[in-house]
Amino acid sequence: MKNFLALLLTLFLGYMIMTSLAANDLFPDQGAADVTTRVSQKYIDRSVNGDVGEVIFGQATNLESGPANIVTAIVADYRSFDTLGEVTVLFVSSLGVALLLGGPKQKRLELNFHPNFMLRVGSRALFGIILMTGIYIAIHGHLTPGGGFPGGTMIASSMLLLYLADDEFRAKIKGFKMLESAAGSAYVLIGLAGLFLGSYFLENLLGNGILGDLLSAGMIPIIYVLIGLKVGSEISGVIDNFLTEEGV
């Protein structure tokens, strides 16, 4: 009876949403919207500050934003300041976890689970592959889907694999903390360099190069690799805090 009422309520709410969207000017039918007048078209054409002509992959140079991946162009170039805030949010959350669960003398949490030899060796072999995939995704963030955040999380999940497959293992967490602070400070320093050497915060000071090259888009790959390192080490620290407890 309770489930039936819940189903009825859900169907009613779904019907309400459907009817309110059906005759709404803000949500036109598929194909009816004029996309060329939207803001997104300006980002795709790289013509926010003025028309730059046709954007051709592998040929275009000196665009106002270099990355071939439009999502990266928005996240790490047009809206880079927002990304700095996002990274700060992640930093604050990992700080909170460390304050609640961290302590001076930590040892591994005793789980009712003891991996055997095969699992330990197999996970060591897989660790390298996952780590390299994460680094690849972070480095190619300006060309292919992905980037700093998924790449960093992949690096952290390779650390998680090592933690789960060996109940004695602990990473050198101090190194991770150093790496995290260095990467975070470098991001802010790049922003300040743009402010003092150029004209605004996080300005792209290096040349953009040819659209689609690995060494293109100026500062964007550097920033995305820094974000990848920061996110990876931060989430590894959170995982370490989750899987350790205070020893005696």
Q: Which residues in this chain contact other proteins in the complex, by CB under 8 A?
A: 69, 71, 109-113, 137, 145-147, 149-150, 153-154, 156-157, 160, 164, 235, 239, 242-243
Closest approach of Cβ 111 to other proteins, in Å? Answer: 5
Query: Which phi and psi (to 5°) does residue 13 adopt?
Result: -65, -40
3-state secondary structure (DSSP) of residue 140: coil
Residue by residue, DSSP assigns 156-197 as HHHHHHHHHH-TT----HHHHHHHHHHHHHHHHHHHHHHHHH
Nearer to other proteins, 89 or 197 (CB): 89
Nearer to other proteins, 132 or 189 (CB): 132
81, two tokens:
């300041």
Residue by residue, DSSP assigns 210-242 as BTT-SS-STTHHHHHHHHHHHHHHHHHHHHHHH
171 close to 181: Cβ distance less than 8 angstroms: no
Closest approach of Cβ 202 to other proteins, in Å? Answer: 21
Closest approach of Cβ 87 to other proteins, in Å? Answer: 15
Nearer to other proteins, 47 or 133 (CB): 133
Nearer to other proteins, 63 or 74 (CB): 74
Closest approach of Cβ 118 to other proteins, in Å? Answer: 19
